[in-house]
Amino acid sequence: MIVAQNLTKRFGRIVAVDGMEFDIPRGHVVGFLGPNGAGKSTTIRMITGFLPPTAGRAMVGGHDVVRQWRQARRLIGYLPESAPLYTEMRVRDYLAFRGRLFGMRGTARRSAIDRVVGHCKLAEVRRRPIGQLSKGFRQRVGLAAALLHDPPVLILDEPTVGLDPAQIREVRALIRELAGSHTILLSTHILPEVELTCDRVVLIARGRIRGQGTIKELQQSAAGATQYVVETDAPRAEAALTALPMVQRVDARRLDSRWYRITITPRADDIDLREQISRSLADGQSVTRELHRLTPSLEHLFVKMVADAETADAPAAARNGSALRPAPEGADAGAPGQEGTTP
């Protein structure tokens, strides 16, 4: 439904987006994930036809967004970053104006407005000037305007930026609700957002795709990142754990006069080592107060991807485009964040 072919944008000598290739099938929710300035908005602006690509092309619903712009734009509901709106207009008037731009008339327009006002919970503010509304309401007005002509494709640039946690949850629920019947592309730099709302993820850094696939696929691609964390008071724990056959590396850190915190990196991800670890620590005297497994989180992957993009931005890494493995395995063992990244 949304296709990018070698999509490239240069601003003077700066390459903002470099040879993007992706194909989002109908009905999928895909998240563009990347740090600020990665090229997410520029890519989205090319797909919506706002910015012309320097090279390559974008197609929506089979229409080239540059050549068949009118047909392509009719299929797209677009919420630009920070939802720009005419602040002097009332919500209802703004939606009516958007309806007219999409060629909607009379009763069809009125019923469409009623539909999106209900959908986005705007009934109480429909007569208020947009300038008086809170950020959350404005975001919803932008979303309502995007949904007004009932487009099959929704493109949302940072839809939850600047909202409070309750509003973020509402917007995410709305996106999930629309997911079945719409093809949705959303960009974000917030990781839980992608995990909560998207079927597939496209990781972007420095204008290039660094990995794409389902969240599960991406997690698997980060193989070698599983770790086990143990807190024990056994003085010989480090030696005992190093002796285990499936263990690659053990890092022990003394917490205080009694407790050690030990991080274990296994040789393979597919075997659960928790039982063996527990057994090897049980000597009848010492106590183990914590044992858990850390699976690679999207956050770990994200941080690694950004770091890789920063350092190894060599031509060799360039055409890694759609590869699922953004970096050599085990490149930074011991990197997953400590507490807080537990699944």
Partner 1 sequence: MSRALAIASRELKAYLLTPGGYIIIALFLVLVGIYFSVRSFDLGQPSSLRAVFEVGTWLLLFVCPAITMRAISEERRLGTFEALMTAPVSEAEVVAGKYLAALAFLALMLAPTALHVAALELYGRPDYGELLSGYLGMLLAGSAYLASGVLASVLTTSQVVAFLLTLFFWLTFNAGTRILPQHVPQFWADIVQSLDAQQRLGLFAIGLIDTAGIVYFLSLTAVFLIAAVAALLWRKMP
Q: How far apart are CA 161 and CA 135, in angstroms?
A: 9
Please say which residue, 60 or 247, places its beta carbon nearer to partner 1.
60
Please say which residue, 13 or 70, places its beta carbon nearer to partner 1.
70
- Could you say whether residue 259 binds partner 1 (CB under 8 A)? no
Q: How far apart are CA 188 and CA 33, in angstroms?
A: 5
CA distances from 162 to 79, 114, 317 (A): 14, 26, 34
Please say which residue, 82 or 341, places its beta carbon nearer to partner 1.
82
Please say which residue, 19 or 296, places its beta carbon nearer to partner 1.
19
- Could you say whether residue 109 binds partner 1 (CB under 8 A)? no
Binding-site member from 50, 167, 229, 267 for partner 1 (CB under 8 A) = 50
CA distances from 339 to 117, 142, 295 (A): 42, 37, 12
Contact positions with partner 1 (CB under 8 A) in 145-164 = 145
The Cα angle at residue 71 between residues 66 and 75, in degrees rounded to 5: 105
Q: Residue 32's closest CA among 14, 7, 67, 64? A: 7
- Could you say whether residue 69 binds partner 1 (CB under 8 A)? yes
Q: What b-and-e string marks burial along 122-132, b requiring 16 or more CB atoms within 10 Å of the CB?
A: beebbeeebee
- Could you say whether residue 15 binds partner 1 (CB under 8 A)? no
The answer to whether 143 and 158 have CB atoms below 8 angstroms apart is no
Tell me the backbone φ, ψ of residue 54, rounded to 5 degrees: -70, -35
- Could you say whether residue 52 binds partner 1 (CB under 8 A)? yes
Please say which residue, 4 or 76, places its beta carbon nearer to partner 1.
76
Please say which residue, 2 or 305, places its beta carbon nearer to partner 1.
2
Please say which residue, 53 or 326, places its beta carbon nearer to partner 1.
53
- Could you say whether residue 123 binds partner 1 (CB under 8 A)? no
Q: How far apart are CA 317 and CA 305, in angstroms?
A: 12
- Could you say whether residue 54 binds partner 1 (CB under 8 A)? yes
In this chain, which stretch among 43-51, 178-186, 218-226, 270-278 interacts with partner 1, using CB under 8 A? 43-51
Find the shortest distance in angstroms from Cβ 40 to partner 1: 15
- Report which DSSP code applies to 193: H
| Total binding residues toward partner 1, as defined by CB under 8 A | 32
Q: Residue 327's closest CA among 248, 224, 225, 222? A: 222
Residue 320 token pair: 């890694």
Query: Site mask, partner 1, residues 223-252, x = CB under 8 A?
Result: ------------------------------
Interface ranges with partner 1 (CB under 8 A): 45, 48-55, 69-70, 73-74, 76, 78, 80-82, 84-86, 88-89, 93, 97-98, 100-103, 142, 145
